[in-house]
Amino acid sequence: MEKLMIAGGRPLRGTVQISGAKNSAIALLPAAILAETEVILDNLPQLSDVAVYTHILEELGAKVEWSDNQIKIDPSDIKSIPMPNGPVKKLRASYYMMGALLGRFGEAVIGLPGGCNFEPRPIDQHIKGFEALGATVTNEHGAIHLHAKRLRGARIYLDVSSVGATINIMLAAARAEGATVIENAAKEPEIIDVATLLNAMGASIKGAGTETIRIEGVKEMHGCRHSIIPDRIQAGTYMIAAAATRGDVLIDNVIPKHLEALTAKLIEMGVQVEELDESIRVIGADSYGHVDVKALVYPGFPTDLQSPMTSLLTQCKGVSVLSDFVYSNRFKHVPELARMGAKIRVEGRSAVIEGGPLNAAKVSASDLRAGAALVIAGLTVPEGVTEVTGVEYIDRGYDHLVTNLRSLGADVWRQTE
Ligand code: EPU
C-alpha cells in the first residue's frame, strides 16, 4: 500500500504547469468511438483513469498509441462488445461508453459505473435521454443493456443539469436521425470541449456552454486532431494550496475565466490573485478573513473544489460556512480533517468551519478530492509528518502531484508499506 507523506509548513513557491482536464479526457476518449478514422488528442493528462479508459477502448478493438501527452485512437475496427464487468467497473465515466456505443452501433452492454463513491450518483437522466432518442434500456444484473434499431432526434429536458447526462446525450445524438435539443443542459467548460471535438469530427452541435444545446444528427463522422482544455480543478487545487501555505505560485496553462468563482472567493478572504492571459498568480497573506462558499453548477463555485476549499477555510479567522448544492453529502474529508485538529461540523448540506491550526496525523482519502483536501491540510502543518492513505484515488485526477509539489518546495514523498 502506498502512502503520501507530507512534512508541511513550507510556503509553496514557483511555477506549476497544469495538464489537460481529466473530466474532458474521459469523455473525449469514448467520443472517438463515433469516428470512422483516427482521432488524435493532445494535452492528454497522465492519469490512472485515462489508462483504464485506454484499456477499455483496446478491448473493444481500437488501435491505441499513447506517448506522453498525446494519444492516437484508430477506431476503425471497434465493435460493440458487451462489457458487463471488468475495467468499466473501475471508473465512473465508463457511462460515456453507453452514449458512444449506442450512437455508433445502436447497442451496448455496460456494467454500472464505479469511481469515486462519495454518495449515490444516479444516472436516471442519462437513461431518460437515451430512451427519448428511441433506445430500449434495461438493467440486467447490474449491467445496462441499450438497444435501438434507429436513433431519432428528440427534445430532452434534464431535471438536473447533469454534466454526464448532457455529454452522454450529445454522444448518442451526434449520429441520430434529425434534430435533438437538450434543455437545462449543463454548462461546464468540459461540455464545450466535447462539443468542439465532436464538431471537428463532423457533428453539428450548437449552443454547448449554454442551457440549450441543439444537435443536428449526421450520417458519418471522421477523425481529427484536438487539444484538451486545461484542468480547471487541478489548477484550482494548486491555487488553494498556494493560499493555504501562504506561498507565491504561478499556475500556468489555465483558462483564468474557468476559475473566476474561486478567484473571487480567494480575493474576498484576502489572498492576492493576478489573472494573466494563460496563467494565474496566487500570493498568500499572513491572515485571512472567513468567507461563505456555495458550490453550484458552472459558473458557480465547483463542487470538485469544495473539499480542498474546506482545508483552506480552516486557515481563516472566524467561522466559514461551505455548502454544496450539487452533492448533498460530499463531506467524507471532514472526519479526516477532524483527526488533524480541524473544528468542523456538518449540518445538512453545509460544513461549518471554525478556523484554527491543524496538526499532523494519519488520515485516509476516500475519494479524489477528499485526498486533495488532506494533502493541502498536511502542507499547512509545520511540525510532524502527515500520512495520507488512499493514494490510488488521488492518482485518478492529479497528474504528477508529488513532482509538482516538490518543485514548488514542498517536502512530500510517496512511501510504500
Ligand atoms: N444526477 C442525477 N441524475 C443523473 C445524473 C446526475 O440526479 O442522471 C445528480 C447527481 O447525483 C448530482 C448532480 O446531478 O447531485 C450533478 O451530477 P453530474 O451528473 O453533473 O455529475 P457527473 O457527470 O456524474 C461530473 C464529474 C464530477 C463532478 C460533477 C459535477 C466526470 C466523470 N465527473 O460528474 O467530477 O463532480 O460532474 O461537476 O466528469 C471529480 O472530478 O472529482 C468528480 C467527481
Contact 159 CB / ligand 1 (< 6 Å) = no
Q: Give the closest residue to 378 by CA, choosing from 324, 342, 354.
A: 342
User: Which one of 57, 116, 239, 410 is the catalytic residue?
Assistant: 116
Question: For position 334, what pLDDT does the model report?
Answer: 98
C-alpha cell at 64: 491505441
Contact 162 CB / ligand 1 (< 6 Å) = yes
Q: Label each residue of 249-306 as H, E or C.
A: EEEECCCHHHHHHHHHHHHHHCCEEEECCCEEEEECCCCEECCCEEECCCCCECHHHH
All structural domains of the chain, each given as residue ranges with its CATH number in brackets, are 2-18+230-416 (3.65.10.10), 22-227 (3.65.10.10)
Q: Give the closest residue to 292 by CA, choosing from 283, 301, 284.
A: 301
Judged on CB neighbours under 10 Å (0-12, 13-18, 19+), 46 is middle
Output the residue whose Cα is nearest ligand 1's atom 43. 304
Contact 278 CB / ligand 1 (< 6 Å) = no
Question: For position 197, what pLDDT does the model report?
Answer: 98
Question: For position 343, what pLDDT does the model report?
Answer: 98
Question: For position 114, what pLDDT does the model report?
Answer: 67
27 φ/ψ sector (left φ>0, alpha ψ -120 to 50, else beta): alpha
Query: What number does the ligand 1 atom closest to the CA of 127 have?
Result: 8
Contact 124 CB / ligand 1 (< 6 Å) = yes
Q: Please tell me whether 362 is known to bind a ligand.
A: no
Query: What number does the ligand 1 atom closest to the CA of 160 have?
Result: 14
Q: Give the closest residue to 375 by CA, choosing from 240, 201, 174.
A: 240
Q: Label each residue of 330-373 as H, E or C.
A: CCCHHHHHHHCCCEEEEECCEEEEECCCCCCCEEECCCHHHHHH
Question: For position 142, what pLDDT does the model report?
Answer: 86
Q: Is 224 assigned a catalytic role? A: no
- Ligand 1 midpoint to CA 307 (Å): 15
Question: For position 117, what pLDDT does the model report?
Answer: 65
User: Which amino acid makes up residue 39?
Assistant: V
- Ligand 1 midpoint to CA 368 (Å): 14
Output the residue whose Cα is nearest ligand 1's atom 27. 304
Contact 295 CB / ligand 1 (< 6 Å) = no
Contact 23 CB / ligand 1 (< 6 Å) = yes
Question: For position 380, what pLDDT does the model report?
Answer: 98
CA 351 to chain centre: 22
Question: For position 116, what pLDDT does the model report?
Answer: 61
DSSP string, 111-170: EPP-S--SS----HHHHHHHHHTT-EEEEETTEEEEE-SS-B--EEE-SS--HHHHHHHH
Could you tell me the pTM of the whole model? Answer: 0.97
Question: For position 113, what pLDDT does the model report?
Answer: 74
Q: Please tell me whether 369 is known to bind a ligand.
A: no
Query: What number does the ligand 1 atom closest to the CA of 326 have?
Result: 15
- Ligand 1 midpoint to CA 297 (Å): 10
Low-confidence ranges of the chain (pLDDT < 70): 114-119
For the chain, helix, strand, coil in percent to 5 are: 35, 30, 35
Q: Give the closest residue to 197 by CA, choosing from 222, 162, 176, 172.
A: 222
Query: What number does the ligand 1 atom closest to the CA of 119 have?
Result: 11
- Tell whether the torsion through CA atoms of 230, 232, 233 and 237 is positive or negative: positive
Question: For position 8, what pLDDT does the model report?
Answer: 98
